[in-house]
Copies of this chain bind each other. A is one copy, B any other.
C-alpha cells in the first residue's frame, strides 16, 4: 500500500520550556489522518536557526510531507522565514497579495500599520503563498526534492483555517492517498486491563490491516479500530463488522459508539428524548456547565447551573435548609439531594445533577478527606439517586473524575427512567 508519511514540526521556545501546551499538532494530525496521511513523527524545536535547519533535513529523509507551525510572527524571536530561506538557499521577496492582506486587516481593525507588520508580506522566493483569511502571516507551500513543505502560523485559529483552505487541498492534489477508516467507542466504569482481558480473543483475531487502540481517560476508556487499505469500500465493511463485534463485547459499559465525549453522549440522549437538565455545582465549580455549554446547540437541552461556592448561596438561591447544612454539612447526601431537587424545580427541567465535595488541596478532615464527593441526580417526578465517591488525586484530577462520574450517573439515570 502506498503510505504517505508526514512529519509535524512545531517551532518555539515556549514549547520547550513548557509554557505552551501544543494543541496544534493534535489538530493537524487529525486532519491528515482523515485524508489517509500517516503522521510518522511530531517534533518540537527551539527558536534556533541551527535547530530548525537540522530538523528540516532530518525529517525530509523520511517524510513525504512536512508541516511546520510557528515562528511567523512579526517579532525578533520569529525566525522561521529566514531559516526557510537558508534551507532552500533563496531570498525573501515581497508577495503583493500577502501585503495587501496585512493592510486590509489593519484597516478593518482601525489599528495603525507599522513597518514590522508590513514585513509579514515578505516570503521566501520559492514558495507558493497560501492566503490566510484569518490573520496577517501568510501560509507557505514549498516543493523540494520530492518533499512537500507547508509553513503555517502558530496561532491555532489561523493554522486551522489554513489547514482547511490550503494544506489539505494541496495534499490531495499532489498524492495518491489510501483510505483510512477509524471507528471509536467510549466505555465508562471498567478499567483498561479488565477490558483488555475481556476482548483479548477479539484483538488476537483481528485481520492484519485493522488495529485496535486503547485510549484511557479518568474513569473511561476509548477503544478505536483503524483500518487502512486502497480499497475504501472493503475496508469500511471489514472495520464495521469488527466494530459491531467489539460493541457487543463491551455493551455493559458502552457510553457511545462514536468518537464523542461523555457530555456529548448525554446531550445527544436528552435531545433525542426532547428533555432538559439543569445542574447545581459546588465542588465542580462550573466545570460541568462549561463542558455542556461548549457543545454547540446545548441550549436546547440545558437550562443552566447554579454554582454555589458558599453556603449562603446554597441557602438563598438553591433553598437548601439551614438545618441540613448545619446537621450534615455541605458535603453530604442530604445537601446534594436537596440541591438537585431544588435546581430541577427552579430551572423547570426534567432532570437535575448536583455535586458537592472536597477537591483539595485544603478543606479535608478525618471524616471527610480530600476527594470525598457526593453526586445526586434527580427527576422532576421527585425520584433522586445519590452516590458517594472517594477520589485520591489532586484538585484538577478530582474535578475531572467528578464530572465524568456525574455525566455517567445522569446517563444511566435517564436510561433507567426510560425503562420504567
Contact = CB atoms under 8 A, between A and B. Distances in A.
A346 interface: yes
Q: How many copies does the complex hold?
A: 2
Nearest to A197: B114
Contacts of A94: none
A22 B25 CA distance: 9
A282 to B, nearest CB: 9
A393 B309 CA distance: 32
Interface stretch (A209-217, A232-240, A249-257, A380-388): A209-217
Contacts of A15: 25-26, 29, 42
B192 A294 contact: no
A23 B25 contact: no
A278 B306 CA distance: 11
Given A14-B215, A182-B17, A317-B317, A75 B22 contact: no
A389 interface: no
B396 A73 contact: no
A212 to B, nearest CB: 7
Interface in A1-55: 13-23, 25-31, 33, 38-47, 51, 55
B14 A18 contact: no
A309 B304 contact: yes
Interface in A336-395: 346-348, 360-362, 393-395
20 contacts: A13-B211, A19-B26, A22-B25, A40-B45, A75-B192, A77-B211, A116-B193, A116-B197, A285-B293, A286-B287, A289-B290, A296-B395, A297-B362, A302-B309, A304-B306, A304-B310, A305-B307, A316-B347, A316-B348, A317-B346
Which 4 pairs show the lowest CB-CB distances between chains A and B? Answer: A285-B293, A286-B289, A18-B29, A18-B30
Given A16-B40, A22-B22, A296-B360, 6 more contacts: A13-B211, A21-B23, A297-B362, A303-B308, A304-B307, A307-B307
Interface of A: 13-23, 25-31, 33, 38-47, 51, 55, 58, 73-77, 111, 114, 116-117, 155-157, 182, 184, 191-194, 196-197, 203, 211-216, 222, 224, 226, 259, 278, 281, 284-290, 292-294, 296-299, 302-310, 312-313, 316-317, 346-348, 360-362, 393-397, 399
